[in-house]
C-alpha cells in the first residue's frame, strides 16, 4: 500500500493531480478544493494516499491531511459509498462540516451533498457517528470541532481538554454547559470545572 507521496504537482484535472515523484508521475484523485492549492505550488508536497484496488483497477486517492484520509477510509466503510462518492462528499464540504453534521445527526445538511439522499444520510449517521466521535484527538484536527460560539477562553480550555485525552465533542459539550451558567471564568477555571463535570476529580 502506498501511504503517501512526496513530490511536485505537475498537472491537474477536474478531480485529480499528477505528482512527479523522482521522475515518475502518479495520478491522484483529490478533493476539488485542494486542486487549486496544489496547482499553484512549485514545491514538493506530501499527499497522504489511499490505494483502491478492484479487479484490474488501481486508483490513488490523496489528501493534504492524514486525518482527512482517516475520515475518507471510515466513510467508504458505509454500504453503498465507494471511493468516488466519498471523494464527492469531501469535495462538497469541509471535512470539519461533514464530521459535525454526522456527529450532530444533521440529515438535512448531509442531503445537500450530491449523491446523498435521505436514506443514505441516515445510514451514514448510524454507521459513522460513534466512529467519528471516537477518533483519536491527536489525529483529528481540532478545527473539526472548532469552539464555534464559545468565547476565546473556552477555546483554550477546549484545547487543554483535548490534550488530556478527551474527545473534542465531549469537551465542547461540557464547556458549553459551563459557559451557559454565565460565570466569567479563566481558561484554568474552565478546565477545572470541566474535569469535575467529566468525573476526573
Domain ranges of the chain: 4-63, 66-133, 146-197
Euclidean distance between the first and the last CA atom of the chain, given in angstroms as a whole number? 44
* pLDDT, position 62: 96
Beta bridge partners of 19: 9, 26
* pLDDT, position 150: 53
- Domain 66-133: which CATH class? mainly alpha
* pLDDT, position 139: 41
* pLDDT, position 183: 67
CB burial of 30-58 (b: ≥16 within 10 Å; e: otherwise) equals bbeebbeebeeeeeebebbbbebeeeeee
CATH number of 4-63: 2.40.50.140
* pLDDT, position 142: 42
Joined together, the cell numbers standing for residue 6 give 512526496
Q: Which fold has domain 146-197?
A: Helicase, Ruva Protein; domain 3 (1.10.8)
* pLDDT, position 182: 63
* pLDDT, position 196: 85
pLDDT in tens, the chain (201 residues): 788 999 999 999 999 999 999 999 999 999 998 998 888 888 899 999 999 998 778 999 999 988 899 999 999 999 889 999 999 999 998 888 888 889 888 898 899 888 889 999 999 999 998 888 776 433 444 434 444 445 555 677 777 777 677 767 777 778 888 876 666 777 888 888 888 887 754
Amino acid at each position: 500500500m502506498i501511504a503517501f507521496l512526496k513530490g511536485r504537482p505537475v498537472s491537474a484535472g477536474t478531480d485529480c493531480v499528477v505528482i512527479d515523484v523522482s521522475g515518475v508521475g502518479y495520478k491522484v484523485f483529490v478533493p476539488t478544493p485542494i486542486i487549486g492549492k496544489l496547482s499553484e505550488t512549485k514545491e514538493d508536497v506530501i499527499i497522504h494516499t489511499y490505494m483502491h484496488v478492484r479487479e484490474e483497477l488501481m486508483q490513488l486517492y490523496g489528501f493534504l491531511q492524514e486525518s482527512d484520509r482517516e475520515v475518507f477510509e471510515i466513510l467508504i466503510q458505509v454500504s453503498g459509498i465507494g471511493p468516488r462518492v466519498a471523494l464527492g462528499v469531501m469535495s462538497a464540504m469541509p471535512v470539519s462540516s461533514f464530521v459535525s453534521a454526522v456527529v450532530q445527526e444533521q440529515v438535512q445538511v448531509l442531503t445537500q451533498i450530491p449523491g446523498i439522499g435521505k436514506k443514505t444520510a441516515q445510514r451514514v449517521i448510524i454507521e459513522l457517528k460513534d466512529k467519528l466521535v471516537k477518533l483519536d484527538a491527536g489525529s483529528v484536527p481540532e478545527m473539526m470541532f472548532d469552539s464555534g460560539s464559545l468565547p476565546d477562553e473556552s477555546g483554550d480550555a477546549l484545547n487543554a481538554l483535548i490534550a488530556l485525552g478527551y474527545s473534542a465533542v465531549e469537551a465542547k459539550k461540557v464547556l458549553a454547559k459551563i459557559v451557559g451558567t454565565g460565570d466569567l471564568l479563566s481558561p484554568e477555571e474552565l478546565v477545572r470545572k470541566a474535569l469535575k463535570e467529566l468525573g476526573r476529580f
